[in-house]
Amino acid sequence: MKIKEILLVLEEMAPLAYAEDFDNVGLLVGDQNTEATGVLVCHDALENVIDEAITKKCNLVVCFHPILFSGLKKITGKNYVERSIIKAIKNDIAIYAVHTALDNHQNGVNKIFCDALGLKNTKVLIPKQNFIRKLVTYTIPENAEKVRNALFDAGAGNIGNYEDCSFNSKGIGTYMGNENSDPQLGERFEFVETAEIKIEVTFEKYLESKILKTLFSNHAYEEVAYEIYELQNSHQNIGLGMIGEFETPMNEKAFLTAVKQKMEAEGIRHSAFTGKPIKKVAVLGGSGSYAIKNAIMAGADAFLTADLKYHQFYEAENQLLLADIGHFESERYTKNYIVDYLRKKILNFAIILSEENTNPVKYL
C-alpha cells in the first residue's frame, strides 16, 4: 500500500476543503508515492514522536496540529520545528496534518469533545459560511433522471439530514446550431423548440470540478447550458464548535468536576459562577475565545474551550459559565478517533497510537 492510498482515507475522514484558510493541512513532508510501512497517529509531530515512528517502523506520521504552520526560510535545526522536519526527511518519514479540516467536520474534534462529556442533541456552533453553491442546468426529459442521479452520486443534493435533493421544473428550450454543431435534436441551421427540464442542485464548493465533470459526461447535449451560484446559506453540518445538552442538569461545581475527570484536565480556569444549573453546553476544542459571543447567543449555560486571556473571562457577563480546560485537554481524544477510523477503513495494516505525551503545558 502506498502512502497516497492512506491519504485518500484521511481525506474522506476530514476533507482538506473543510480547513480554515489560515491553516496548513494535508501532506507536509514526504513523498506520497512511497510504499507505506505503518502509520503512527499523534497530537503533535515533535522530534520524540519522529523517534517513536522510527522505532516502530512507521513511515507516515498523522498529526492533529501541523508541525509546519508558518513559512520556514531556513532549516538548520535551531528550533523544535526544524529539528522534527530534518529528522523526518533524513528517515524518509512523511507527515500529514488534519487540524481544522477535522475541527470543522460534524463528527470531528468537537463531536468527540461532546461525546466524551455525554452531551446529546448536538449541532454545530458556528456554521461555515460561503461554502454552498447551486448548479442550474437544462436537459431533455429523457435525460433528466440520468443527469440527476449522476450529480447525486458525485455529492450534489445533500442538505442537512437529507440527500438526493433537487428542484425540477418544466419549460421550453430553443436553439439553432451553426455549421460546426452536432445537435442531439434537429439539424444544423434548424430552429429547434423542445420541452426541457430545469434541474437545480446544491453542492459543497470544493466539489465543483467533480460536479461539472459529471454533468458534462452525463448530459445529452453537445453544448451544456449551466449556471453556478454562490449561496449565502450557512452550512449547518460543517463549522467550528458544537453545542449539546445533558439529559439531567447539574450545578456548576459538579459540572466542572465532571469535566475535569472526563477530559483528564489537571486544572480548570473559569469565570464566576452564575448560580444557574448547567444543561446546555457549548464546546470548542483548542483556542476558542472568539466564540464566546456565539455560545451566549446560542443560549449555552456553559462554554468550554482553551487559551482564554484574563480580560476574556469578563465576557461571560454572568450569562454563562466560561471555562478554560487546557488546549491539549480539549482535543485529547482526537488522535484516538483518527486511529479508530483508520483501523476500520484499512484492515491488516499497522495503525499505531502514539504513546508520547506532547502537551507542552505542565502543572505543579
Q: Which residues are annotated as a binding site for a divalent metal cation?
A: 65, 103, 327, 331
All 3 cell numbers of residue 91?
A: 528517515
Cα gap 298→313, rounded to integer Å: 18
162 vs 152, 157, 158, 286, CA distance in Å?
Answer: 12, 8, 6, 30
How buried is residue 126: exposed, middle or buried, by Cβ count under 10 Å (0-12/13-18/19+)?
buried
Helices (H) and strands (E) in the chain, counts: 11, 15
Q: 290 by DSSP, 3-state: which?
A: helix
Residue carrying the nine cell digits 448560580: 275
Q: 206 by DSSP, 3-state: which?
A: helix
Residues 6+ apart with CB under 8 A from 213: none
Annotated binding site: 65, 103, 327, 331
By the 8 A CB rule, do 50 and 344 touch? no
Cα gap 314→111, rounded to integer Å: 27
Residues 6+ apart with CB under 8 A from 358: 42, 43, 44, 46, 48, 49, 328
- The secondary structure of residue 311, as a DSSP letter, is G
For the chain, what is the radius of gyration of the CA atoms? 25
